[in-house]
Chain A
Amino acid sequence: MSAIDPEIAGQLASDLPREDFVRIVRTFEDDLGRLARLLESAVAAGDEDGYRRAAHSLAGAAAAVGARRLEQVARIAMDHRNTTDPRLLAPQVRLEAEAALAELAALAEHPPGSR
């Protein structure tokens, strides 16, 4: 399974001028760095609220660009019923974030169709 949903990300890439799509990818990259740090420090501090807030924001950012796998992991993390150890989920979030970013960067480089 690809890290990003080609339908959502591809639609975005084809809906917008390339420079706008690139700006979105950069914003996403900044978001991921900031939110992953927040999530990791919340895990380290045992701050459950902070952990879920960061996970919620990550899910929203991921959904906006079609980073489906990352969104799924973030949604598990933000779910109150979830019993998975946050210390196991945090590295997974980091992993999926990197995969999504790599695929988005490739998409920005070679957007579908032409505008």
Chain B
Amino acid sequence: MAAAAARILIVEDTPTQAEVARALLRDLGHEIRLAESGAAALDLALSWHPDAILMDLELPDFSGFEAMRRLRSQGVEAAIIVVTAHGSVNHAVEAMREGAVDFIVKPYAKARLKVTLQNALEKRALATELREVKAQLSRDHYLGFIGASPAMQAVYRTIESVAASKANVFITGESGTGKELAAEAVHRASPRRSRPFLALNCAAIPRDLLESEIFGHVKGAFTGATENRPGAAKLADGGTLFLDEIGEMPLEMQVKLLRFVQTGSFQPVGASRPEKVDVRIVSATNRDPWLEVEAGRFREDLYYRLYVVPVEMPPLRDRGADVLLIARHFLAAFAREEGKHFRGFAREAEQALAAYSWPGNVRQLQNVVRNIVVLHAGARVERSMLPPMLLRSATRPAAASLPAAEREEPETLAEPPAPAPEWAWVPPPEPAVAAPAAPWLPPAGPDPFLPLAEVEKRYILAALDHTSHDVPRAAAMLGVNPSTIYRKLQSWRAEETSARP
């Protein structure tokens, strides 16, 4: 900083003194502007953003002290060096109380000015750095994340550190902790941000299609391949390829992925020549990847290739006050979306939110808040609007404050907790719904024709089951608004309640 050219504003109304300062500073390689009054100094400081200001105390419009007060009150952070005549060192001391970093006595030689300026610029650089570090340590949002907890600060720092490199990133964490958001953040913070970000969920793609989805295929490669189709690897060229649920990738596909990770080249299905691309791979799983290696479900060589920079997404129960930050964020967003007037949570409601253990993490919190916004009205979310499950657990201390042995949730990521035990409505056991292998088909059986309302109910429940009770995703799959599903759940719950003896 000190060695580089800096922007220096000279505030001086005597031309000879200004010329001496200008000549000396120019000879030191700095960029210089001159203000001949306090008002001109304010204007220039605000528009030109100098690194340092050489301030004379006797100005034609107001004193240098007043100029400094005004500069500081306007948020000018330049290092101010007071220039004082013989016998006015007391003035200089007073000026330093007003925020000057140093003073220099007239007349001064180039060497003295150089050292004084260098020290002032270094002090300013350190102060700026300190402020930035402090700001980083207390960030409450970052590239789409909401959260100020130490656990999230660590995530932000890791993402920032790794973003500039091409190193592969491996994200772990329970369902609903924001693994895809983390992958997007890595991409957005990287120099690849202007290139594509492609996300593939390895668990959602039939194993026969996975290779084609990643590497593409040529016309005639298999039945139904009526034309050449590029895969995600090609489409993400220059950018980032996010492979979610990578633990679900079949072993034979892992071999092909390994080759791609090692060489950067791949062969589309049915093609005779390999293609080369420049892709950064970010992978994610909600399992412990090393346990998957030990169990023989994940190749060790691929593990080492992908697990270069691990990012562990903390569960919501370990994020302290982030629960309320996120809840308020969702409340504002959903209220806007739904045309409601909610402004915040009642204290008792906040206590209940904070005390709950959130096994479904941020996604569950999102669903809860949306449910409240859709089904209720008012300026504040009251405790009575919360789903019963939260109220039951609110009598217990927050899971995050309990010793590990007392927690309901498992400590490792090897066995993720069960999906959110859906807050609003727990569907009664129904054989047709309990067949997740084919959730989209009408139930097979002797009587395939059911009332339309029943079919609708089963489809919605099956979609919820398939998405681990992620209402927005289920709604997207069914082509309806999430509010529709919430209302249906509400009416079914009411039916259930009234049907009970």
- A21 cross-chain contacts in B, Cβ below 8 A: 23
| A17 / chain B contacts, CB cutoff of 8 Å | 27
Which range holds the interface residue count of chain A? 20 to 34
Say whether A31 contacts B16, CB under 8 Å.
yes
Which chain A positions have C-beta within 8 A of B26? Answer: 20
Query: Quick one: which of B17-57 are within 8 Å of A by CB?
Result: 17, 19-20, 23-24, 26-27
Starting from the known contacts A12-B109, A20-B27, A64-B17, 17 additional A-B residue pairs (CB-CB under 8 Å) come to A8-B107, A15-B109, A17-B27, A20-B23, A20-B26, A24-B23, A27-B15, A27-B16, A57-B14, A60-B16, A61-B16, A61-B17, A63-B86, A63-B106, A64-B14, A64-B16, A64-B106
Cα separation A17 to B110 with both chains bound (whole Å): 12
Contacting A at CB under 8 A, from B55-99, are 58, 85-86
Interface size classification for chain B: 10 to 19
Nearest chain B CB to A64 CB, angstrom units: 4
- Say whether B15 contacts A16, CB under 8 Å: no
A23→B23 contact, CB < 8 A: yes
A17, A21, A28, most chain B CB atoms within 10 A: A28
Give the interface centre of B15, B58, B85 by most chain A CB atoms within 10 Å: B15
- 22 of the cross-chain contacts (CB-CB < 8 Å) are A11-B110, A15-B27, A15-B109, A16-B110, A17-B27, A20-B27, A21-B23, A24-B23, A27-B16, A28-B19, A31-B16, A60-B14, A60-B17, A60-B85, A61-B16, A63-B17, A64-B16, A64-B17, A64-B20, A64-B107, A65-B107, A66-B107
Q: Which of A24, A30, A59 contacts B20 (CB 8 A)?
A: A24
Query: Helix, strand, loop or mixed for chain A's interface?
Result: helix
Q: List the B residue with the shortest CB-CB distance to A26.
A: B19
**A59 touching B109 by the CB < 8 A rule?**
no
Which B residues lie within 8 Å of A16 (CB)?
A: 23-24, 27, 110
Binding site for B on A (CB under 8 A): 8, 11-12, 15-17, 20-21, 23-24, 27-28, 30-31, 56-57, 59-61, 63-66
How far is the CB of A52 from the nearest CB of chain B, in Å? 11
Q: How far is the CA of A8 from the CA of B109 in the complex (A)?
A: 8
Taking the nearest CB of chain B, how far is it from the CB of A20, in angstroms? 4
- Which residues does chain A contribute within 8 Å of B27, judged by CB atoms? 15-17, 20
Query: Which residue on A lies nearest to B112, using beta carbons?
Result: A11
CA distance A16 to B109 in the complex (A): 10
Cβ contact within 8 Å between A65 and B20: yes
CB distance from B149 to the nearest CB of A (A): 55
Q: What is the minimal beta-carbon distance from B17 to any residue of chain A, in angstroms?
A: 4
The reply to whether A15 and B24 contact each other, CB–CB distance below 8 Å, is yes
Per the bound structure, the CA–CA distance linking A53 and B297 in Å amounts to 88
Smallest distance from the beta carbon of A12 to chain B beta carbons, Å? Answer: 7
**A60–B12 alpha-carbon span in the complex (Å):** 10
Q: Are B58 and A28 in contact (CB under 8 A)?
A: no
Residues of chain A with a CB closer than 8 A to B85's CB: 59-60, 63
Whole-angstrom distance from the CB of B10 to the nearest CB of chain A?
Answer: 12
Min CB distance B106 to A, Å, is 5
A11 to B415, CA, bound (A): 77
A64 vs B21: C-alpha distance in the bound complex, in angstroms? 9
- Among A17, A61, A64, residue most surrounded by chain B Cβ atoms (within 10 Å): A64
Beta-carbon nearest neighbor of B27 in chain A: A16
Q: How far is the CB of B391 from chain A (nearest CB, A)?
A: 76
B109 touches A65 (CB 8 A): no
Which residues of B (249-279) have their CB < 8 Å from a CB of A? none
